[in-house]
Amino acid sequence: MGKVIAIANQKGGVGKTTTAVNLAASMAATKRKVLLIDLDPQGNATMGSGVDKYAVPASAYELLVEEKPFAEVVVKETAGGYHLVAANSDVTAAEVRLLNVFARELRLRNALKEARQQYDFIFIDCPPALNMLTVNAMAAADSVLVPMQCEYYALEGLTALMDTINQLTSVVNADLKIEGILRTMYDPRNRLANDVSEQLKQHFGDKVYRAVIPRNVRLAEAPSFGTPVMYYDKGSTGAKAYLALAGEILRRADKKTVKTTTPA
């Protein structure tokens, strides 16, 4: 059964969407079956996957609010070799409409019940807020991947996010785990970034990925060509970093499988 990973941080501009698109493409390049769900009404992950957010017949709105079957909502042609549930401004309405429905936190979880069987990995690109869409993502997910920039206030924001995750786990998803913390837009020459990075490792230990995403202009350029960076400039440091992240996630998953299947 597929693993569902929500990519979340309530702060905007930390690299959630860049991570969602490029991690999905990197995983798909390793021959895994991958689904990316765009839950941000800005639709940046949709456009960055080479899919026109204005032209899609259905989006996450239809999946969540109208409860259309997954098969009618999924887009199978993307520039990244993965499948996509698109987002556009319609999804803003989903945030509001969901407030008045029964079991509103569990809409996405229920919508993905069958899709989970079809994919190895399902990534969810969350909006930059702890709203009902993000709650739906966390209720549906096995784990949360947190991209963060190593800035002065980053640790405070992270503590707030961890508190929310802990509250959510007790209410809607007792099994939710922290998948990992990803350092993004990293500049090793910046002393503050190094200090924050050290503090992160002290607080979160091996939850902090070894793979680090450097600041790389190719990563910022690729979306305007509607493609993940690996199909725009495969030799770029950004492309290599996201492939390394995919490899690390796969190795971690393998280790866990071995642990649980080895007799005590």
Calculated CA dihedral for residues 90, 92, 95, 96, nearest 10 degrees: -90
Contact partners, residue 160, CB within 8 Å, separation at least 6? 10
Is residue 216 part of the contact set for ligand ADP (CB under 6 A)?
Answer: yes
| Cβ distance to Mg ion smaller for residue 12 or 188 | 12
Residues in 233-262 at the binding interface with ligand ADP, rule: CB under 6 A: 238
Pairing state between β 177-184 and 143-149: parallel
Cβ nearer to ligand ADP, comparing 104 with 128: 128
Nearest distance, CB of residue 229 and ligand ADP, angstroms = 9
Q: Which partner in ligand ADP, Mg ion, none is near 32 (CB below 5 to 8 A by kind)?
A: none
How far apart are CB 100 and ligand ADP at their closest, in Å?
28
Greatest CA span in the chain, whole angstroms?
54
For the CB of residue 240, give the shortest distance to ligand ADP in the complex, in Å: 12
Q: Does 227 bind ligand ADP (CB under 6 A)?
A: no
**Which 3 state secondary structure label does DSSP give 233?**
coil
Interaction with ligand ADP in 80-139: which residues (CB under 6 A)?
128
Residues 24-43 that bind Mg ion (CB under 5 A): 40
Of these, 27, 165, 213, 246, which contacts ligand ADP (CB under 6 A)? Answer: 213
Residue 19, SS3 per DSSP? helix
For 25, the token pair is: 């493409």
Q: Is 16 in the site for Mg ion (CB under 5 A)?
A: yes
Residues 14-73, interacting with ligand ADP (CB under 6 A):
14-18, 44
Q: Which is nearer to ligand ADP, 103 or 152 (CB)?
A: 152
Shortest Cβ contact with Mg ion: which residue?
17
The DSSP-derived string for 78-95 is: -TTSSEEE---THHHHHH
- Closer CB to Mg ion, 17 or 149, in the complex: 17
Please, which residue, 40 or 233, has the CB nearer to Mg ion? 40
E-assigned strands of the chain? 3-7, 34-38, 83-85, 121-125, 143-149, 177-184
Torsion of CA 15, 17, 20, 21, to 10 degrees: -110
Contact (Cβ atoms closer than 8 angstroms) between residue 127 and residue 7: no
Give the bridge partners for 145, in sequence order.
7, 180
- Regarding 17 and contact with Mg ion (CB under 5 A), the answer is yes
Residue with tokens 């639709």: 43
Task: Please tell me whether residue 18 binds Mg ion under the rule CB under 5 A.
Answer: no
User: Which of these segments, 8-16, 60-68, 80-88, 89-97, binds ligand ADP (CB under 6 A)?
Assistant: 8-16
DSSP 179: E
Tokens of 59: 């989006």
**Least separation, in Å, of the C-beta of 237 and ligand ADP?**
9
The residues that touch ligand ADP, with contacts defined as CB under 6 A, are 12-18, 44, 128, 184-185, 213, 215-216, 219-220, 223, 238
